[in-house]
């Protein structure tokens, strides 16, 4: 279960390529496990390591300044491709709490909030602005604050960037919702639907 | 004035939440060994069992070995995942098509051929290419492991209704052009984000003329358009395809089903949020040059100039060019290749193998090329062997494998070696998709067959059939 939270504060790292897919976020060689834990070491493995698994110092996450970053500033369509939820588990296990991008892969988007990973949709122009402000001075990275209740990203006192978030998703992130528990409360309704539907579409239910 | 999406969606809504999400009934839940075992442990913690095991089907496909005479232990890395799936499916009374089962194969190949997917149904599976199954007139989409757990627990999914897009493919396909070329072309036109937020209904003369297998190829790549869902209205071909399959409805229920399926079409006055018309007569054989499926050109075209890449995104283009070791304005023809992969949920059905075999018959794979054929299922393999297609492939120098996802995803040992070039009939040319640093060019089975023979990228139309 995820932790209740309304606000996170952390450093941001720019990874502004478009269409960063979940194969890049966690390659297939790094996800062969029945566990959801410990996947952080495989995060961005092909970019983070050389082919002998030595750290690739040129990859931005390996730059000392960004070592403790917990927010990724990304390009459009982040998390596209494969449905592998391992991508979310890997980001969280590594220490990423939030990704800000103009758009996200749809399956990845659903996977994220269900695990407490915050995804914020922002215009590319604003993301570039945040990147310039928060990441320009590499020796003195600014903390940025993500406030879910106020739906706002705060940089300095005078730099605020409001964002839209679906109420359902916000609720989920803040109140640690248990969707399965909620849906199980509707069990009676589900069963009566199946009962009626079975009459209408008997052929769909293997009752032959 | 409803779209087909409206009709299928409405017939599955159990509950509408105030926040715009609906609780949707799931008619078929397909699970596999890589993304689904993790979901069962959550159920165990809650002390609950699978809600509708009879509507749930499991297949071993993603990490299984494809070598002849394989066992679970041929691919040691997959043993734990496979055994976990076996244990959970047994505990919960779920039908499993395991490695040795006569129906084993890639989930999206197996499910249609068994008659598990029916028009008007809602289908989910922890795999993004579940959209393939929309070809039968169902609404099918890929989900993550948390959603798998929700479906196992409740036989429902919480989902916001997508917007409706229709893509009309007009005209007749040119020879040597396949369903794969049409959908790659569309992705090139709209981009990998062009379908985001939409359920895409494919229609038009070219779709009507296609077999169900070709339609499965079209729908398969919907997710590469950014659309979670792709589907087509069922027609007489759908009904003929489903008739008397192992799990298809029989007798009285078959009659009732047909009556129901005849209501499944978008009304003539239905309004779509977006509509695209494509003239298929203008489409040549396609091949990708970069690291997303939108990086696609006709075989006769040259790789784009990086300065003219989408929205002047030069940096991105240069990265893809460098990864793929190709140059701007270069023709891909003549580029030496190392591997050919014919397989995957996109192009591993009998029709795909027939098309490739027709091209290969009497020819030899170039000596420097490692070429493999991985049939999509045991049934496809059996059918191909009855038609002696395997003899054609083997005589030409192809390896003839057992069914599985194989080199499409590189989870098992079927990987493209670092920096090697592969012509692949699969669906993703992402960095590292077929193995670390592998260079993937997506193409049709015909193109893959032609390239295997030539040993380099070639235009299949320049090679005559033997």
Confidence (pLDDT) at A159: 85
Query: What is the mean predicted confidence (pLDDT) over B65-82?
Result: 97
Query: What is the mean predicted confidence (pLDDT) over B397-414?
Result: 97
Instruction: Among B10-14, B264-268, B459-463, name the one with the lowest average pLDDT.
Output: B459-463
- Average model confidence (pLDDT) for chain B? 97
pLDDT > 80? residue B311: no
pLDDT > 80? residue B464: no
Q: What is the distance in angstroms between the Cα of A151 and the nearest Cα belonging to chain B?
A: 17
A7-176: CATH class: alpha beta
Please check whether the domain covering B4-161 is classified as CATH 3.40.50.150. Answer: no
Confidence (pLDDT) at A207: 65
pLDDT band at B310 (very low <50, low <70, confident <90, very high): confident
Contact flag B154-A180 (C-beta cutoff 8 Å): yes
Confidence (pLDDT) at A142: 79
Query: What is the mean predicted confidence (pLDDT) over B374-398?
Result: 98
Residue A87's SS3 state is helix
Confidence (pLDDT) at A138: 55
Q: What angle do CA A151, A157, A162 make, to 5 degrees?
A: 20
Instruction: Among A64-68, B245-249, B415-419, name the one with the lowest average pLDDT.
Output: A64-68
Name the region of A181 (left: φ>0; alpha: ψ -120 to 50; beta: rest).
alpha
B163-234+265-282: CATH class: alpha beta
Confidence (pLDDT) at B65: 98
pLDDT > 70? residue A208: no
Smallest Cβ distance to B428: which of A23, A197, A201?
Answer: A23
- Radius of gyration in angstroms for the set of CA atoms belonging to chain B, rounded to a whole number: 21
Confidence (pLDDT) at A119: 98
Q: Which fold has domain B286-462?
A: Aconitase; domain 3 (3.30.499)
pLDDT in tens, B38-60: 999 989 899 999 999 999 999 99
CB of B258 within 8 Å of a chain A CB? The answer is: no
**Cα–Cα nearest to B457, from B216, B228, B285, B278:** B285
**This prediction's pTM:** 0.97
Query: What is the mean predicted confidence (pLDDT) over B302-316?
Result: 85
pLDDT > 50? residue A166: yes
Delimit the CATH 3.30.499.10 region(s) of chain B: 4-161, 286-462
Confidence (pLDDT) at A133: 84
Delimit the CATH 3.40.1060.10 region(s) of chain B: 163-234+265-282
Distance (Å, whole) CA B402 – CA A90: 32
pLDDT band at A158 (very low <50, low <70, confident <90, very high): confident
Give the 3-state secondary structure percentages of chain B, helix then strand then coil, rounded to 5: 40, 20, 45
Q: Where are the domains of chain A?
A: 7-176
Distance (Å, whole) CA A43 – CA A87: 8
pLDDT band at B159 (very low <50, low <70, confident <90, very high): very high
Smallest Cβ distance to B436: which of A51, A103, A183?
Answer: A51
Query: What is the mean predicted confidence (pLDDT) over B309-332?
Result: 92
Query: What is the mean predicted confidence (pLDDT) over B287-302?
Result: 97
Smallest Cβ distance to A193: which of B25, B126, B260?
Answer: B25
Per-window interface: B 65-84 vs A, CB < 8 A: 77-78, 80-81, 84
pLDDT in tens, B426-452: 999 999 999 999 999 999 999 999 999
Q: How far is CA A88 from CA A30, A180, B43, B44, B429, in A?
A: 13, 19, 20, 22, 21
Confidence (pLDDT) at A1: 40
Confidence (pLDDT) at A3: 47
Which two structure tokens, joined as six digits, stand for B207? 């779709």
pLDDT band at A5 (very low <50, low <70, confident <90, very high): confident
Confidence (pLDDT) at A4: 47
Query: What is the mean predicted confidence (pLDDT) over B319-348?
Result: 97
Per-window interface: B 27-56 vs A, CB < 8 A: 27, 34-35, 37-38, 42, 46, 48, 51-52, 54-55
């Amino acid at each position: 279960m995820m932790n209740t939270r309304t606000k996170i504060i952390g450093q941001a790292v720019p990874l502004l390529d478009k269409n960063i897919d979940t194969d890049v976020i966690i390659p297939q060689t790094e996800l062969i496990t029945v566990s959801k834990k410990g996947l952080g070491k495989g995060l961005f493995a092909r970019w983070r390591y050389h082919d002998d698994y030595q750290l690739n110092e040129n990859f931005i996450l390996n730059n000392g300044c960004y070592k403790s970053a917990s927010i990724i500033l990304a390009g459009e369509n982040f998390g596209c491709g494969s449905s592998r939820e391992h991508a979310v588990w890997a980001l969280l296990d590594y220490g990423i709490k939030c990704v800000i991008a103009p758009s996200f892969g749809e399956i990845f988007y659903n996977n994220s909030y269900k695990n407490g990973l915050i995804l914020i949709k922002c215009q590319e122009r604003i993301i570039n602005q945040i990147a310039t402000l928060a990441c320009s001075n590499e020796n003195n990275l600014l903390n940025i604050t993500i406030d879910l209740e106020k739906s706002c990203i705060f940089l300095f006192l005078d730099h605020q960037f409001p964002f839209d978030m679906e109420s359902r998703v916000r609720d989920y992130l803040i109140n640690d919702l248990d969707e399965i528990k909620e849906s199980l409360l509707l069990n009676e309704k589900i069963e009566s639907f199946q009962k009626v539907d079975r009459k209408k579409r008997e052929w769909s239910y293997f009752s032959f | 004035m409803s779209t087909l999406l409206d009709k299928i969606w409405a017939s599955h809504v159990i509950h509408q939440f105030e926040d715009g999400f609906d609780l949707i009934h799931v008619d078929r839940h397909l699970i596999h060994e890589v993304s689904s075992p993790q979901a069962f442990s959550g159920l165990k913690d809650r002390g609950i069992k699978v809600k509708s095991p009879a509507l749930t089907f499991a297949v071993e496909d993603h990490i299984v070995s494809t070598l002849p005479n394989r066992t679970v232990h041929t691919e040691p890395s997959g043993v734990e995942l496979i055994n976990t799936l076996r244990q959970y499916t047994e505990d919960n009374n779920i039908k499993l098509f395991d490695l040795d089962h006569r129906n084993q194969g890639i989930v999206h190949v197996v499910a249609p051929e068994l008659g598990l997917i029916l028009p008007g149904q809602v289908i989910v599976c922890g795999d993004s290419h579940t959209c393939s199954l929309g070809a039968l007139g169902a609404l099918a989409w890929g989900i993550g492991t948390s959603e798998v757990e929700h479906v196992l627990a409740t036989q429902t999914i919480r989902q916001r209704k997508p917007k409706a897009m229709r893509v009309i493919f007009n005209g007749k396909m040119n020879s040597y052009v396949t369903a794969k070329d049409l959908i790659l072309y569309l992705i090139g036109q709209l981009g990998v984000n062009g379908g985001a937020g939409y359920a895409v209904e494919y229609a038009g003369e070219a779709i009507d003329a296609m077999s169900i297998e070709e339609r499965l190829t079209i729908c398969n790549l919907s997710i590469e358009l950014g659309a979670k869902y792709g589907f087509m209205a069922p027609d007489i071909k759908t009904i003929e395809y489903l008739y008397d399959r192992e799990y298809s409805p029989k007798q009285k229920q078959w009659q009732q089903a047909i009556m129901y399926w005849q209501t499944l079409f978008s009304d003539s006055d239905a309004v779509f949020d977006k509509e695209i018309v494509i003239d298929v007569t203008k489409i040549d054989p396609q091949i990708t040059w970069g690291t997303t499926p939108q990086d696609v050109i006709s075989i006769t075209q040259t790789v784009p100039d990086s300065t003219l890449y989408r929205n002047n995104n030069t940096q991105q283009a240069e990265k893809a060019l460098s990864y793929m070791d190709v140059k701007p304005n270069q023709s891909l023809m003549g580029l030496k290749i190392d591997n050919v992969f014919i397989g995957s949920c996109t192009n591993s059905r009998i029709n795909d193998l027939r098309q490739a075999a027709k091209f290969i018959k009497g020819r030899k794979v170039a000596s420097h090329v490692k070429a493999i054929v991985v049939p999509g299922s045991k049934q496809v393999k059996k059918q191909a062997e009855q038609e002696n297609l395997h003899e054609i492939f083997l005589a030409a120098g192809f390896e003839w494998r057992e069914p599985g996802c194989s080199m499409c995803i590189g989870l098992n040992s079927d990987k493209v070696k670092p920096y090697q070039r592969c012509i692949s009939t699969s669906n993703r040319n992402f960095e590292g998709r077929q193995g670390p640093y592998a260079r993937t060019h997506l193409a049709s089975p015909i193109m893959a067959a032609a390239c295997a023979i030539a040993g380099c990228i070639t235009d299949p139309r320049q090679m005559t059939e033997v």
